[in-house]
Structure 1
Amino acid sequence: MSQLATSSVKPSLISDFKEITKMRLALSVVFSSLAGYLLGVETVNYTTLTLLAFGGYFMVGASNAFNQIIEKDLDALMDRTKNRPVAAGRMSVNTAFVIASIFTILGIVILYIINPQTAMFGAISIFLYTCVYTPLKTKTPLAVFVGAIPGAIPFMLGWVAATNDFGIEPGTLFAIQFFWQFPHFWAIGWFLFEDYKKGGFFMLPTRKQDKGTAVQTIVYTIWTLLASLVPAFGITGKLFLTPMSAIVVGLLGLGMLYFAIQLFKKMTTEAAKKLMLASVSYITLLQIVYVLDKFIR
């Protein structure tokens, strides 16, 4: 009987830990950071790579845990979030706060071991996400603009971890992921519009599922594509993209743009979901192409 009880408790604790830290999102952030590191490094240091992976995970986990503490009452109103551990009452606010605080300390300390600049950007990311983006979400669609800043930090954080320097190269990586955030989150805001509405979140730029939002989504998709191609012109220092890789990135960008245009034409939830999936595929494949381009050429 005790063995059954133990086995039933463990999955719950594990699933709650995954949920409070948003494990899938955190792992995607770690992936971006590692890609940025590989782009910036001369010789791969596997100790630094490991520290960056853990530091990045703790950083994102802390932000997400603080977010779920602040939004617990609103999370309880939405189908998408009502089963989160704090919102559902399975985890106390105090427990979540302890987890968030420990993760913050661990994240910043581990990133500081790599170098102080990496820790600084990690701390900025946690602060903006928790103290600025989260409170703004119920007040103005401009919250997406603020949220795009910490969302864009991981890709360039890897370069800073590799070089201990912030210049045109990490700035370009930041710009790519910054512009990408808008079509990605507006697609999510579109197909989850009714659910977000229950919690008082209006994530779309016009606060509506209308042509204005769809047009802005197309514009930012184009900006994402243009920013992604800048390294092909040899003006971004050590960050360079060969013509063949630039063609691949361009085709990926046109694919994402196609789905953004489809959202404008169809104005449906299904079109928004397809754009969201296309955006995730785009940023992941772009980072892979960038890294392969560096090591294969």
Structure 2
Amino acid sequence: MLSTAKHPLTLSNIVSDFKEITKMRLSLSVVFSSVAGYLLGAYSIDITTIILLCFGGYFMVGASNAYNQIIERDLDALMNRTKNRPIPAGRMQVSTAFTIAVTFTVLGIIALYIINPRTAMYGAISIFLYTSVYTPLKTKTPFAVFVGAIPGAIPFMLGWVAARDQFGIEPGTLFALQFFWQFPHFWAIGWLLYDDYKKGGFLMLPTKKQDKGTALQIIAYTIWTIIVSVLPAFGITGDLKLSIVAAIIVLALGLVMLYYAFELFKKRSTQAAKQLMLSSVLYITLLQIVYVIDKFI
């Protein structure tokens, strides 16, 4: 760790930088998805497994984020939203960040392996794809978002695998749901932060522009997300089921997100992109809550 005149080496600042290097808020949202998937797949609730899943999921995502910030430290320094991150701002050495990343990787794999080896395998695949494939591709091709959507879709599925120690139609559906959802979500972010991403050379939009082509693809993937979200109500996704009432609620949530996708198509403004981004976060959070509540009532 380093200290600066503007950022003295205090416990508060160390904790703040630790939260930033591991992206604590994002990591906790991933943990939430994993636990939701576990609750959907579990025959009976095992508190030890939930605790291991929480720690394992947080460690794996935190490690991915730390590796990402090490690799992109020079590009982060060019963008307003990332230039104050610990490494580009000079508050944390690369060696410190790397130690955190490696430690989190090892602890994450161990925690998930204790649950079952299959869960650890998917966690390791997630960290590999995010760090070694998605991160390098971000400055080369918009296809990076497709690659990044794979590790991003694993957490919801991971929880089910932790509960059942098997992969099938149920975790596959959870994976597909979060996979398709990520396109409107991240393209909305890419649109909102277009100018900043451009400074870093990141190609986050499918057409590389804030145009109708990008907006149309956002609408298309939003529709796919909605379709997958209601599939469990038709009895074709194995043990993953959804009541008619829950399906109607989920459909309504999806239509709200679709409304904002059309608003982005019509207005093509950063404000519309922000509204879509916020609605997408609300959608996936409430959907997972509805899925879990519907199972237990």
> TM-score, with normalisation over the residues of structure 2?
0.97
2:40 matches 1:39:
yes
1:70-111 C-alpha deviation (Å, 9 max, x unpaired): 000000000000011011111001110000000000000100
Q: Render the CA deviation track for 1:265-297: whole Å, top value 9, x for unaligned.
A: 00000000000000000000000000000001x
- Report what 1:188 is aligned to: 189
In structure 2, C-alpha distance between the alignment counterparts of 1:8 and 1:95, rounded to whole Å: 14
Question: For the residues of structure 1 that align with 2:176 and 2:245, how far apart are their CA atoms?
Answer: 22
The 3-state SS of whatever aligns with 1:94 is helix
For structure 2, list consecutive stretches of 5 or more residues without a partner in the other structure.
1-7
Who is 2:5 aligned against? none
Matched, 1:208 2:209: yes
Task: Measure the CA separation in 1 of the matches of 2:62 and 2:88.
Answer: 17
Which residue number corresponds to residue 179 of structure 1? 180
AA aligned to 2:162 is: A
Whole-angstrom distance in 2 between the partners of 1:281 and 1:103: 29
**1:57 has 2:58 as partner:** yes
Instruction: Show CA shifts across 1:133-179 (max 9, x none).
Output: 00000000000000000000000000000000100000000000000
CA–CA distance in structure 1, aligned partners of residues 261 and 189 of structure 2: 12
Equivalent in the alignment of 1:250: 251
What SS does structure 1 have at the residue aligned with 2:10? helix
Structure 1 segment 49-198 matched on structure 2, within 5 A:
49-198=50-199
What's the CA shift string for 1:41-63, capped at 9, x where partnerless? 01100000000000000000000
> How far apart, CA to CA, are the structure 1 residues paired with 2:9 and 2:119?
40
Work out the CA distance in 1 between the residues paired with 2:204 and 2:275.
18
Cα deviation, 1:10-39, whole Å, max 9, x if unaligned, reads 111010000000000000000000000000
Structure 1 unmatched ranges of 5 or more: 1-6
AA of the residue aligned to 1:144: V
Report the Cα offset of residue 188 of structure 1: 0.1
Distance 2:28 2:136 in 1: 24
Aligned residues: 290
In structure 2, distance between residues paired with 1:164 and 1:188 = 34
Determine if the alignment matches structure 1 residue 11 to structure 2 residue 12: yes
Q: Equivalent residue for 1:266?
A: 267
